Structure 1
Amino acid sequence: MKLLSEDYTLQVITLGTAVLGAVCGMLGSFAVLRKQSLLGDAISHAALPGIAIAFLITETKSPVALLLGALISGLLGTFWIKGMISKTHLKSDTALGLVLSLFFGVGMLLLTYIQKQPNANQAGLDKYLFGQAATLLVADVWLLSGVALLSVLVLLFFWKELKLLLFDADYTKTLGFNVRFLDVLITSFIVLAIVLGLQTVGVVLMSAMLLAPAAAARQWTNSLGIMVVLAAIFGAFSGVFGTAISASTSGLSTGPVIVLVASFFVLISFVFSPERGILFKQIRKYKNRKALKLFKTLSVMYEIAQTHEDISRPHAIKILNNFLGYSVNTLKELEDQELIKINGQMWSMTTEGYQKAAQLFNQNMDSNE
């Protein structure tokens, strides 16, 4: 933290990665919910030829020119994917794989060609493959901030329409909304966010930056609004913590560390989220098994007690073995709930226990009917 407060360059990089993470989290939520998780991977790889072609045309490494080339190439790849899906019988995963492989192959071919040229300016283009956050400038942060602000405004303005599009595109169309425009709008912003992140995270890891915060946020809520906000927070913290870890440890690249931090948020969410987390699911399963075991034991006791006029008549514990077996813990739990009484090796039902058992028994009979 001391290094962050004293190093202006590190402050710029941290702010840039935080804004990038927030933008990717917000827009990545829509990609995840639209089941277009591989779209980010395809777009990031499809942007590579645009970077190379922009360099060949301008013969400079101007970030504006290179990112503009990446944006055009990314949009071309995106709409090519959509065209293949809508006009052919190919599935979305096939179209994504084809475009990803084709564009990335062309991009690598062009980069190889550029590297063999005598032009000294070609050095450093490979940073777009793996990212180089240290090259972020104040102008880049302003650009990212502008895109973040514009994204927020667009999401707020078209919130109702985009929400409908996510969950029922056909119904959205019947209401008179321009589904194609909305689809192009959100897809274009996703492409823009990916292109802006190439300089920081790189082609190879950009997909994770887009999807990880959204995947983590999805575990915590069923509300789209809350999910978008949480994804933005997870993305921003991934950028901040990833940059801090990278700066404090020599030899660590910032982009991969940011992705690892984002993946850590995903892991924590998968394990500890109350509704979908693995830990709480196991706890619920354990409680359900325990409740079922108590119910079965109490049902057997109820059937035995029914055969006698006095429901509080003691019975030998070993008689339960003739029905389902029992455990000491089960009997202790029933006793703690004051549903039965244990006296040595004998048990008897309390009035409360008999009434509850009768209620549960009747409910079970009704459900079976």
Structure 2
Amino acid sequence: MQQFWEFFSFADANIRYVTLGSVLLAGSSAVVGCFTLLRKRALVGDAVAHSVLPGVCLAFILSGTKNPLILLLGAFITGWISLIVIDYITSRSRIKEDTAIGLVLSVFFGIGILLLTSIQHSGNAAQSGLDKFLFGKAASLVGEDLIVFGIVAVLLLFTTILFYKELMLLCFDQAFARTIGFPVRALELLLTTLTVLAVVVGIQAVGVVLMAAMLITPAAAARFWTENLKVMLVLAALMGAFSGITGAFVSYTAPAMPTGPWIVLIISMIAILSFAFAPKRGWVARLMRQRRNRALILEENLLKLLFQLGELKQDFETSRSLSDLLERRSIPKRQAIHGLKKLKQQGYVKKKKKRWILTIEGEKRGRRVVRLHRLWELYLTQYLHLASDHVHEDAETIEHIITPELEKRLMEELNYPELDPHSARIP
């Protein structure tokens, strides 16, 4: 607890630099990463992250100093060139984008490693610490680095806000943007520049190896929680900022733990939790929906079955045994018993001496399912010209998802029919 209060009091200047730098890095990268993710160019961040290393090395060789602005300028230039090369290869050859990204990533990174090795063997005393661009070292951030981080973060966020409408249209409907006169190529270059800036700033904290995770992971996690782009941007920024603070705190409480990898690990944990527990798109929610849908289909099939048995002799007052139902339709016995018990709880069926009978509400619901089944069969035969013996299976599936609005439209399109393709009455 003492370490907690020491850290979050921000009395130590080094804590302030590391924490604020990590927050600015993670938050601004996440915002740009949202647009990269939506454009289905997630691997671009990885390509840029590996392509900045030769720029850092060349900037050091030419300047002879480790001035952050000079090194980041060199990183920006080679990172930007790498994206231009990817676009050029993709547009001028039959090579697909993922292959082009792999080619550019490996070539640029290989050149960077060669230059870094050459520098390490040159005997230049100023080269010490240059390898932190490879693996990152957020714990060594100082006030000068923080100023650079702050300027770039403000620039990224301001540009995103200023061109929000244009970038959104570029992500969701590029053809429409071009049709209405938007400068699509210029917008692509702008987004490329923002991506490179985000990566260039981040490599000093987490390195070229992990920077792609900082760009894409918060955006991927936020995407699971919302369908609204504005909300997605805010969520991604908050998730990134939280991972930055938490990673810095873990590194402070356990000095042997590096800050950058912990930031990536925490945002990855947030992403995993999002993938699993997001209310609409998460894995658990999807499983629950599937379970509810299976239960709904079972219940409606049982109601339809009871209605059809009563329809044979227009006798809905006679109770039916479980064997009567299973003889007419192949349903696992345990599932049928469970479904009937649930229908009884809902008031759709009644049980009399181990036999089942529809209630008034159950008869209405069963009648509707039968009507939808027969309407869809008739629609397939009349409008798609399918044979009457080929429409049953499709109707078995679609009858459970037809809405009242679609049901009304079907009735109107078919002119309120009385018989289905098999000459059975449509109730």
The aligned counterpart of 1:30 is 35
Q: In the alignment, is residue 332 of structure 1 matched against residue 331 of structure 2?
A: no
> Which one-letter code corresponds to 1:333 in the other structure?
K
The aligned counterpart of 2:377 is 368
Greater Rg over alpha carbons, structure: 2
The aligned counterpart of 1:346 is 355
The aligned counterpart of 2:17 is 12
Asked whether the equivalents of residues 305 and 349 of structure 1 are also in contact (C-alpha less than 8 Å), the reply is no
Partner SS for 1:250: coil
What do residues 281-321 of structure 1 show as CA deviations (whole Å, max 9, x unaligned)? 10000111111111111111111122345422223333222
Structure 1 residue 41, shift from structure 2 partner: 0.7
The aligned counterpart of 2:240 is 235
For residues 139 and 254 of structure 2, what CA distance do their matches in structure 1 show?
A: 14
What do residues 114-153 of structure 1 show as CA deviations (whole Å, max 9, x unaligned)? 1111221112111111100012122322322222222222
Asked whether the equivalents of residues 69 and 148 of structure 2 are also in contact (C-alpha less than 8 Å), the reply is no
Q: In the alignment, is residue 3 of structure 1 matched against residue 6 of structure 2?
A: yes
Q: Where do 1:98-117 residues align within 5 Å?
A: 98-117=103-122
> Which one-letter code corresponds to 1:17 in the other structure?
S
Partner SS for 1:204: helix
For residues 307 and 25 of structure 1, what CA distance do their matches in structure 2 show?
A: 63
Structure 1 residue 23, shift from structure 2 partner: 0.5
Asked whether the equivalents of residues 50 and 71 of structure 1 are also in contact (C-alpha less than 8 Å), the reply is yes
> Which one-letter code corresponds to 2:88 in the other structure?
G
Equivalent position to 1:302, from 307, 311, 333: 307
The aligned counterpart of 2:317 is 312
- The percentage of counterpart residues that share the same residue type is 40
Partner SS for 1:342: strand
Q: Where do 1:52-91 residues align within 5 Å?
A: 52-91=57-96
What do residues 76-95 of structure 1 show as CA deviations (whole Å, max 9, x unaligned)? 11212112222222211121
Equivalent position to 2:49, from 34, 37, 44: 44
For residues 308 and 148 of structure 1, what CA distance do their matches in structure 2 show?
A: 76
Structure 1 residue 2, shift from structure 2 partner: 1.4
Structure 1 residue 364, shift from structure 2 partner: 2.0
The aligned counterpart of 2:197 is 192
For residues 147 and 118 of structure 1, what CA distance do their matches in structure 2 show?
A: 33
Asked whether the equivalents of residues 133 and 207 of structure 2 are also in contact (C-alpha less than 8 Å), the reply is yes
Query: Mind listing any 5+ residue stretches in structure 2 that lack a counterpart?
Result: 379-427
Q: Where do 1:133-172 residues align within 5 Å?
A: 133-172=138-177
For residues 348 and 53 of structure 2, what CA distance do their matches in structure 1 show?
A: 70
Asked whether the equivalents of residues 144 and 196 of structure 1 are also in contact (C-alpha less than 8 Å), the reply is yes
The aligned counterpart of 1:280 is 285
Assess, with a 3 A threshold, how the Cα gap between structure 1 residues 11 and 344 changes in structure 2: closer, same or farther. farther
- More displaced stretch, 279-288 vs 139-148: 139-148
Runs of 4 or more, structure 1, over 6 Å off, are: none
Count residues with an aligned counterpart. Answer: 369
Equivalent position to 1:211, from 183, 207, 216: 216
Q: In the alignment, is residue 359 of structure 1 matched against residue 373 of structure 2?
A: no
TM superposition score normalised by structure 2: 0.83
For residues 288 and 34 of structure 1, what CA distance do their matches in structure 2 show?
A: 32
What do residues 232-262 of structure 1 show as CA deviations (whole Å, max 9, x unaligned)? 1111111111111122123211111111111
For residues 189 and 211 of structure 1, what CA distance do their matches in structure 2 show?
A: 14
Query: Mind listing any 5+ residue stretches in structure 1 that lack a counterpart?
Result: none
Asked whether the equivalents of residues 305 and 311 of structure 1 are also in contact (C-alpha less than 8 Å), the reply is yes
For residues 284 and 350 of structure 1, what CA distance do their matches in structure 2 show?
A: 27
- More displaced stretch, 81-90 vs 271-280: 81-90
CA RMSD of the aligned region, Å?
1.4
The aligned counterpart of 1:266 is 271
The aligned counterpart of 2:405 is none
Asked whether the equivalents of residues 131 and 199 of structure 1 are also in contact (C-alpha less than 8 Å), the reply is yes
For residues 102 and 322 of structure 2, what CA distance do their matches in structure 1 show?
A: 65
Partner SS for 1:21: helix
> Which one-letter code corresponds to 2:371 in the other structure?
N
